[in-house]
Structure 1
């Protein structure tokens, strides 16, 4: 073979190797990263150590991440007893999703709620629990009239609801009484006439009589959420103070204190000498953030779509569920985030929050349910507003289309 032919064949061989290497480098990498390991549960609601009146619905909401399409069920257990199992809760197969359920507060005392997610192969998340307390509807005694003494007006005596530690100490020490010398008997004193009775007027204490069922809050604003308890219509409580705008009253609640909105009660007694109290500092609404996965060259645009509720006929004091369509008009996948919910009417605002999982580019997902209970201004128009990513934790190409709202009239219900 000539040197010229050998050199030509060698050049052709090198050219083929170069083309093969280019094809390997240009091959697309469309393989998605599989989800492995156990799912992860994050409890959104209720908050730890929250107090609920017996029979009042407790909204249970949890965020399941590291999920995927093989989630078989989510189980909710209350006090070591199965409460409900939600089958195939992640029909969309997303990396994260939310579940919501309502438990009627049954049984006075502390209760532990546990949420666990299971894959189809039996792999389970680490159970996540929260402990709340349930208070009796009837444990608040009837309020006395204006001639009652200071120890009983507006609520139970100072010993009500405590752990009886003083009585325990007395019982423990009852068997340890030291012997003492018996004193010598003495002659009884001569009887004397009792003093003449004097007419001492009883102070005219200011009292609140509730015209409807009301929530008791830690401070004078609906931002103090969740409520620490409630009173039923026609219940009474002693008024302790009023804010400077005279729109909220501080009242005695069991052997503690709380705040109620002034439009939901009538006042009797002398309120001229009530002290002015502005209450504790207002809290800031901070929905539970969902960690965002860092993505290079993010091009995300989240847009609020249709808002719906179940049931559509909303009633005062009745929990309803909220759904919203969230679209990603961007070119890259959006990480999960939060949704702020505000219900406003005549200056009163009720707030809650929800969350959503990752949304692929060009896709629309229905987020919910987000439970909400509104107990003010029945018979009036209300505006329900949902804000996607309210803290701007997700970088977007347009931050001005994350808000949606609708109006409705709140029925009377239980109020």
Structure 2
């Protein structure tokens, strides 16, 4: 396929003249086409007890059907290899694996995405494994930042409204003994929604309670949803929210039922009746939101200057729960453009009754200078925690981006 001589020279000169600007800003074509691997930020942030199963998750981007395999290694020892991990040819997909922590001390986790031609991208993080009788250290008390926040503007889309959960058709299947060669099980340590398919656009069909466990039957191609036994039938749960016993690497990959087509919502003729909060369900709220610029301590973001957004997710109930996925994003108010987001990095954290958890994310915004922007703080962004009130999970701060380093 190579061509030489004058034709090759003309093509080379043409490529330099037409592509010079983009190469200067983004690297060589080979660099731009490398798979990008990002391990969820919460992994490795706290010690793990020896012997526990750890759910490992990574997002693979700049990807397509040419990704031949994804490898998980601990201290350069392969613990799992997922072949053909992206059968649908998605630009970005998520892989999930589990590892039973063995050996105390610092352990190096590396996740590699390898293309058909052998070119790969990777990411790594250190895991700290402590003795089984040791208690992982506390993350400390959250710092309180009080900042008033205006109402959410109409230009920012609210979370997808889903029908309320219904009573499960039957109690989840009784636990079965898990052995190395047996059926793997999902173990629930919080109240969790169960859906008819692998996605938030599928209806909720019930919940699992803390302490429930059920067999895992299959995994969706993205690796982030499990098909499980639910009552006398089957349903789906969000994988990062469950603990796993047994080996899931040999389970079948299933896409699940067809994605449902949204139906138009009828306009109500009268306001819906007020429903009293369910005391058996947790409730997450977003409080103590704030933004500040570390370089000068001010609360005024400037173009090209990093600033920190901080939020406390609070459980106002007497029921222990998870924070769900916390999402912090920066939005240009006039257009609704999201020009900064925490993505999947602020992973769920368990909090007790009346407990709280504070997280931070750093932004550097360099678009829409001198225009109104808004930092949005969203608890349980995937809407996977069944709550007594689903309407108080968002808050925000509006500001005007000043000229700075741009």
Shorter-chain TM-score: which interval? 0.3 to 0.5
TM-score by length of 2: 0.36
- TM-score w.r.t. the length of structure 1 is 0.35
Greater relative contact order (CA < 8 Å, ≥ 6 in sequence): 2
